[in-house]
Structure 1
Amino acid sequence: MAPPLVLDIDGTLTKPAGGLDPRAFEALPAWDAPIVLATGKAFPYPVALCHFLAIPELVVAEHGGVVYADDEVRVTVDSERPKAAARAFVERGGDLGWGGADTVNRWRETEVAINLDADERLLRDVAAEFDLDLVDTGYAYHLKTPGVEKGDGLRSVASVLGVDPAEFVAVGDSENDVSTFEAVGESFAVANADERARAAADHVTEGAHMDGTLEVLAALR
């Protein structure tokens, strides 16, 4: 029987130029074990992706800040400090970089994402002042409460499912996947992964992005 999976989204289920790889719509619904989507994206994004993939909605969003399983949403941290830090960043001349509507953060509950074009030095100064972590996922900076990790979110979902986290296989591509790799029994970094993810993973795939993920699925079958 196939093992349960915990999959990152950006860089792992996407095409090199961005956007979801359409092969996910064939590969994931056919998987005969639970699939948890664990991402830094705002909560509605992975829920919607589960919906369109027609797989059960098992979600770790916002780096573990929001967890969803068995029809229960759990927000694990207070979101006010990251929001206050983001306001301070803007007041001091910073720009979140998403335009007026800011759909990147509009539905985000526990952290704030900032465009990679932002003033990193100012952003790091503000993060330190507010005692926040600043995570670079390769797609955005994220102001988040220390101690909130994807791996903890995965453990929470696994507990709801009655599955040992060690039974899961994880696939990811960035530093925010390291805690997930540490929580599971076997982990894979796709070839485009950053150095921290590659160092933490049990294996590094030959293929990048969705090619790497499909390589893992084929090997597990």
Structure 2
Amino acid sequence: MVPPLAVDIDGTLTRPDESVDPRVFDAIRGWEAPVVIATGKSFPYPVGLCAFIGIPTNVIAENGGAVYVEEAETVRYNGDPEGAKAVGTAYVEAGYELGWGPIDMVNRWRETELAVAREQPLEPLVDIADDHGMVVVDTGYAYHVKTPEVDKGRGLETVAAALGMTPDAFVAVGDSENDAELFGRVGRAFAVENADETAKQAADELVDAGFADGFFEALDRIRASR
């Protein structure tokens, strides 16, 4: 028996070039317990990933802003999308850009938060977000504007309840600041080698390898301890 698993995408299931490592498909599909894909990406990305892997669609998207458990047949949205949109508008009016070009595919399907490219100035974004009661989380891939009370950890609470489990039954693997709250809810948490310091400090264990190799190392450790 293995525990249910909550796993990030970017930096955890990917290669250094940000593409998903194809080896993770069989590893996740063969996991003998529920798997939850927990990401800062917009809702369609983890849903599509579950479909292509061939597993039940259990997802936490947009840093906890959108949650879906296939078994429960319910989508739950959290957060303040209008607040996030207002931050983006004020940021652009202040002379900055979201940074994704004229066709913004990053935010196109985002329903509960706003993502800004990391090449854009952070300090004014944080100040404007604070004025609107929002916070900014740096995932290492984008700056995410969201409500303070929404995070992956709270998203996992929703998923676990729908599956008839508790969050501490899960093991989590991740790499970023936005995984720290998730790590704080689960029974055991792994940070891959390329993780940022916030994630490393929140994790129970650090693996030696980075990116998808680190994910596989975490799975090996989980199996070895059962």
Query: Alignment partner of 2:18: what SS?
Result: coil
Q: Report the TM-score, using the length of structure 2 for normalisation.
A: 0.96
Segments of 5+ residues of structure 2 without an aligned counterpart are none
Letter in 2 for 1:177: D
Letter in 1 for 2:68: Y
Q: Alignment identity in percent?
A: 54
Report what 2:43 is aligned to. 43
1:163 alignment partner, one of 162, 165, 168: 165
Q: Report the TM-score, using the length of structure 1 for normalisation.
A: 0.98
Report what 1:17 is aligned to. 17
CA distance in 1, matches of 2:123, 2:204: 33
2:135 alignment partner, one of 125, 128, 133: 133
How far 1:121 sits from its partner (Å)?
Answer: 2.1
Letter in 2 for 1:9: I
Segments of 5+ residues of structure 1 without an aligned counterpart are none
How far 1:86 sits from its partner (Å)?
Answer: 0.2
Matched residues, number: 221
How far 1:16 sits from its partner (Å)?
Answer: 1.1
CA distance in 2, matches of 1:77, 1:200: 23
Instruction: Report matched runs for 1:57-136 at 5 Å.
Output: 57-69=57-69, 70-136=72-138
Q: Would you say the 8 A contact 2:194–2:210 is kept in 1?
A: yes
2:204 alignment partner, one of 192, 199, 202: 202
1:157–1:32 distance in 2 versus 1, CA, 3 Å: same
2:185 aligned with 1:183: yes
CA distance in 1, matches of 2:19, 2:97: 24
CA distance in 2, matches of 1:85, 1:203: 36
CA distance in 2, matches of 1:119, 1:77: 24
Let me know the Cα RMSD of the aligned residues. Answer: 0.8
CA distance in 1, matches of 2:75, 2:36: 14
How far 1:26 sits from its partner (Å)?
Answer: 1.5
Q: Would you say the 8 A contact 2:79–2:146 is kept in 1?
A: no
Letter in 1 for 2:2: A
Report what 1:174 is aligned to. 176
